[in-house]
Structure 1
Amino acid sequence: MANSTTRLNALLLVMLLTLAAWAGRAFYLQAYDAQANAAMAANRMTYTKTLVAQRGTISDRNGVVMASSEQAVKIVADPIMISRNGIDTRVEMTPGQKKRAATAARDISVVLAKYLGGSEADYLPVLSDLGRKHYVVVKSQVPAWTYEQIRRDLAAANDGIGLHGLAKEDDPIRTYPAGDVAANVIGFMNSAGEGAGGLEYSLEASLAGTDGKESYATSANGRIPLANTTLVPAVDGTSYTLTLDTEMQLMANQALAAGVTRAGAKNGTAIVMNVKTGELLALSTTPGFDSNDPAGADPANLGNRAVSAPYEPGSVEKVLTMAALADQGLVTADTRVEVPSRVVSGDGKIKDAFEHGTLHLTARGVIANSSNIGTVLLTRQMNKQKLRQYLLDFGLGKKTGLGLPGESAGWLPPASLADYSRDQISFGQGLSVTAVQEASAIAAVANGGLYNAPTLVKATVDGDGKAVPVEKAEPRRVISAAASAQVLDMMESVVMLKKSRSIPNYRMAGKTGTAQRVDPQCSCYRGYTASFVGVAPVEDPQLLVYVVVDQPTRGTDGSTLALPVAQQIMSLALPRYGVLPSTTKPTERPLTYVP
């Protein structure tokens, strides 16, 4: 009896101690750490879902979509759920449930292979990886309709009992309907879904928008219907309308590619610009790539050489030199200059591309014949620093702010430039420019002396569909309208030099360029850059076309390699934009004089 009493007392003591421990623990949880434990419990029951923002579209000036996002999903799996075919881990499975669960991973693999391609073996290891527990990505960027077909097949399996353990998350696909037409402008996306080139990269923050999130309470059986829900809506990205015209871009691409092939050149650039506004209608570089497949391209072709690859412009630069001289009242189209066969400059001598004795040329004749010597002699009338300042005012030596990544500022010699540097830059050597810089500067000469910064963005709309103002620099005057007219007179003589250079029904002014190319690998001149710039119609210039052919192997002259390409593009562009034919004919004006 004593033993029984002792045992009973011991049992009661253990029970009292146990109850005291439970009470103490309950008191601690509720009195001292209630908030922390409540938060922990809530977190364990809360599921947060990312609401992916819709990326903005990029369209051309006519509304043609160049980049857009299509609805797609990321398929994710819960290997533990698959291993039990959806049966809660706290529930004892029946023999039938165990049988179905044993083949669930393989059965799901068969369905995935049917719609996603590949074989069962490609998916089975992922679905069976219990070490990944509740989350593993099966495949990203699956079209929404494809996932819906997978879901239906899984739901209908096992006579309607279904196959469980797959889910989806938003994962849009970026598509480029224009393909390679303007890829070097539009850019592309990387595997992380971020812009990695072109405007996709430089406008990433505004295009991407801001993801939202939804948080709600869950249990082992899924979402708790009446529990608290927190919703932060996604803010969709901004959409952009560009100044580009995809059809004009395509025509420029084709003409440029053919010209580069004929020249056996390494690459080329073609620009079509609205002279009055600075809007870029086409910005073509070749070779390029397809924005839908950047991985299949040569990495050297993924950028945009029109803004990132500076070069010495050669004789096209004489247009800007003459503009500065004319604005200072030092030159008119009829100014006379005696041109010897050589002229001393620094420790060397400057010559022309063609051999000659003493020539008697007008400034018009200097431009028509592209005389380096004549340009140098006329330029020596101007203060060196003043000439450099004109070039700065024309936008050289600094970035245009076009908005494309990797833009170069080019290079101008410092204000303390030597006399021989002044001589060199007057005819396009000893400085470097980008194609967009040079095109914009010459457009200013043609536009009555008013410079417009080049632009690619015409309009923007935010994620709510509201228009967003587009910032644009105000036009600035660089030279007078009278000086502009004098230079256009000189430039028209270049086209008039040969009838084959003209465009039917339109008066065109232009300038050829043939420059020795600086090779950065040897810091020396190696190869050539051929170019031509044209503006039309001369009476009231509306359009500019600038073509640069880099490192040709079948010739060197801009007049034979670049001019025909620019001529073809201009002949297509003028009627396309409703530019009326010229009502006057060009007048033959003197290129030479008799002393």
Structure 2
Amino acid sequence: MSTEVRSGVTPRRPPPMSPMGGLRYGIVVAVVLIGLGLLAGRIVTLHVFDRPFLQGQGDARTLRTDPLPSHRGMITDRNGEPLAISTPVVTLWANPQDVPEDSIQRLMLARALGMPLDDLTARLERYASREFMYLRRQLTPAAAQQVLDLRVPGVYAQNEYKRYYPAGEVTAQLLGVTNVDDKGQEGLELAYQPYLAGTPGQRRVLKDRRGRLVRDLEVLREAKPGGQLTLSIDQRLQYMAYRELKTAVAEHDADGGVVVMLDARTGEVLAMANQPSYNPNNRAGLDPRGLRNQAIVDVFEPGSVMKPLAMAAIMESGQFDRDTVVDTSPGWMRIDRFTIRDIRNYGELSLAGILEKSSNIGMSKLVLALDDPLVPDIYRRLGFGESPGTGFPGESTGSMPAPVRWSSSQWAALSYGYGLSASALQLASAYTALANSGERLPPSLLRLPEPPAGVPAITPDVAHDLLRIMEEAVQPDTGARRAVVPGYRVAGKTGTVRKTAAQGYQENVYRSLFAGIAPVSDPRIVTVVMIDHPKGDAFYGGAVAAPVFSRVAGNALRLLDVPPDQRLQ
């Protein structure tokens, strides 16, 4: 007997499943399985196939490559004293779209930036469609931090460098300046831009969605600083020369002036001062005339300071010697419808007397008696009419006319420094031949590892004779007496040149010059002084430029520890 019969209970049978119910169940299971399959497929696609793309998109929104600024190379004087250095600064910028419109925050930001609220608001509106605008360039780190401490959204900082010139106006024209992006614009800063600039680096950083730095990740490329430039300038001599030049320009109410001092043994420029000048650290309201390095860029007719150089050609000709006597009476002469004059009738003069009295008549007669055009030839050997080769931007070659169908008056004018033009640097370089046994030394603005080879220009015997003749012209009883340096033997020549204008030579407008060498026994420095248009009672080179030479050369010789030499009796 079965259990069902024994228990007396009849079991219930499940109702038969309808066809529609089974179908719905199958559809649900299928949908679930398909959904799980699609989800699994999408997960596989994202993690396997699309992973590089998605990773790159994520990194693009969080990882950044920021530049590492490189500081500009330092410029120093010959003794390592800094003349131009780069200091760290901070530039503040903003994303105008992220800066809140809250008036309180904008007012606080404007005050911290030191600008009117209306100006800040106008700038934000002007750049509203962009994501970048400068707020302030080149702030000190402390001033920038005051702005950043406000935590205004959309305001960020960028580290940069700014050029600073410790000597200020004293070396302004020589060094030049950089612009706000620290790129050279003038002077040596421009000439050596690739060398001084350096190479910026790169770093990878993590930033949030607002562009704020979260973490430094790695340095991709180290920043390389610019090279250091060592000049031939001696900062002590530069300060002293600038001080004396500025004093003389003010004393004589002059338009400006130049002092150039070269090392007589190497041709290195020990000092190069210009007036007027400007402060490169604060260029507001600067005089545009002060931007030019007149010693290299500007040219002028040198006048009587050329007479010793022309005399070298006369003495080398073999037609005249030191004892030759020239009659300069009556103190004037007519050549080609032009009248050449001396200050007064000097009568008979030796070659030394012609230089001492600065006789235009004596020089003219000697040059016109020469068989060959020796004066232009020696001028060219001395570097006139060609580039000095310093590499300074805009350096002038001057002008040295070709001797083609010259008239007698042109030949005569050339002997006393008219009819050609030269810069103060070219003139100083030419005088190194007199100080260096006839070999001219090319000028250099950089410190040289060793003395360069000289360029033969004057025979040694003639150079030595001229040095002694020029020494006799700088004595207490001569017109150049104000150039005397106590304790040292000095050789030199004065010059007073009429300035030209479009209509010709100007009346009562002069340049006063002195070119000198010291000490004569063992020349160490060659110095040229030019004072442009002195307006006081004095305008002759012996009265205006010679005293500047005396003070500059005397101080320089003492600073260089040059022992005094015995003066002529």
User: 2:325, 2:349 within 8 Å by CA — same for their partners in 1?
Assistant: yes
User: 2:205, 2:215 within 8 Å by CA — same for their partners in 1?
Assistant: no
Asked which structure has the greater CA Rg, the reply is 2
The match for 1:533 is 515
The match for 1:72 is 89
Q: 1:52 is matched by which residue type in structure 2?
A: P
Q: 1:448 is matched by which residue type in structure 2?
A: S
User: How far apart are 1:380 and its partner, in Å?
Assistant: 2.8
In structure 1, which of residues 397, 400, 416 is the aligned counterpart of residue 385 of structure 2? Answer: 397
Offset from partner CA, 1:165-212 (integer Å, 9 cap, x none): 332112212111111111111112223432222212222222112222
Partners of 2:407 and 2:235 in 1: CA distance: 46
Secondary structure of 1:495's match? Answer: coil
Partners of 2:65 and 2:218 in 1: CA distance: 10
User: How far apart are 1:317 and its partner, in Å?
Assistant: 0.5
In structure 1, which of residues 324, 331, 343 is the aligned counterpart of residue 333 of structure 2? Answer: 343
The match for 2:495 is 513
User: 1:333, 1:487 within 8 Å by CA — same for their partners in 2?
Assistant: no
User: 2:255, 2:533 within 8 Å by CA — same for their partners in 1?
Assistant: yes
1:111 to 1:449, Cα distance in 2 relative to 1, 3 A: same
User: 1:61, 1:241 within 8 Å by CA — same for their partners in 2?
Assistant: yes
Correspondence 1:137 to 2:119: no
Partners of 2:277 and 2:59 in 1: CA distance: 54
The match for 1:374 is 362
Partners of 2:107 and 2:447 in 1: CA distance: 49
The match for 2:316 is 327
Offset from partner CA, 1:460-512 (integer Å, 9 cap, x none): xxxxxxxxxx7986321211221111111221121122655422111111101
Partners of 1:439 and 1:41 in 2: CA distance: 67
Partners of 1:255 and 1:513 in 2: CA distance: 19
Correspondence 1:188 to 2:177: yes
Greater relative contact order (CA < 8 Å, ≥ 6 in sequence): 1
Partners of 1:168 and 1:225 in 2: CA distance: 15
The match for 1:96 is none
Secondary structure of 2:474's match? Answer: helix
The match for 2:560 is 577
Mind listing any 5+ residue stretches in structure 2 that lack a counterpart? 1-22
Q: How many matched pairs? A: 535
The match for 1:487 is 466
CA RMSD of the aligned region, Å?
3.7
Q: 1:433 is matched by which residue type in structure 2?
A: A
TM-score (norm 2): 0.83
The match for 1:546 is 528
Offset from partner CA, 1:394-434 (integer Å, 9 cap, x none): 11101112232221110011142514322211110000000
**Superposition pairs for residues 380-529 of structure 1, below 5 Å?**
380-382=368-370, 384-416=372-404, 418-420=406-408, 421-458=410-447, 474-496=453-475, 497=478, 500-519=482-501, 521-522=502-503, 524-526=504-506, 527-529=509-511
User: How far apart are 1:362 and its partner, in Å?
Assistant: 0.7
TM-score (norm 1): 0.80
User: 1:74, 1:170 within 8 Å by CA — same for their partners in 2?
Assistant: yes
**Superposition pairs for residues 129-278 of structure 1, below 5 Å?**
131-132=128-129, 134-151=131-148, 153-154=149-150, 163-216=152-205, 220=209, 231-278=220-267
Displacement over 6 Å in runs of 4+: 33-41, 127-130, 221-226
1:334 to 1:34, Cα distance in 2 relative to 1, 3 A: farther
Partners of 1:375 and 1:80 in 2: CA distance: 78
Q: 1:55 is matched by which residue type in structure 2?
A: R
In structure 1, which of residues 561, 568, 592 is the aligned counterpart of residue 551 of structure 2? Answer: 568
Q: 2:546 is matched by which residue type in structure 1?
A: L
Mind listing any 5+ residue stretches in structure 1 that lack a counterpart? 84-101, 155-161, 460-469, 587-595
Percent identity over the alignment?
Answer: 29
User: How far apart are 1:62 and its partner, in Å?
Assistant: 2.5
1:546 to 1:37, Cα distance in 2 relative to 1, 3 A: same
Secondary structure of 1:56's match? Answer: coil
Secondary structure of 1:517's match? Answer: strand
User: 2:400, 2:420 within 8 Å by CA — same for their partners in 1?
Assistant: yes
User: 2:241, 2:271 within 8 Å by CA — same for their partners in 1?
Assistant: yes
Partners of 1:553 and 1:375 in 2: CA distance: 29
Offset from partner CA, 1:540-579 (integer Å, 9 cap, x none): 2111221111122223311111111111111211111111
Secondary structure of 1:180's match? Answer: helix
Partners of 1:355 and 1:382 in 2: CA distance: 25
1:118 to 1:327, Cα distance in 2 relative to 1, 3 A: same
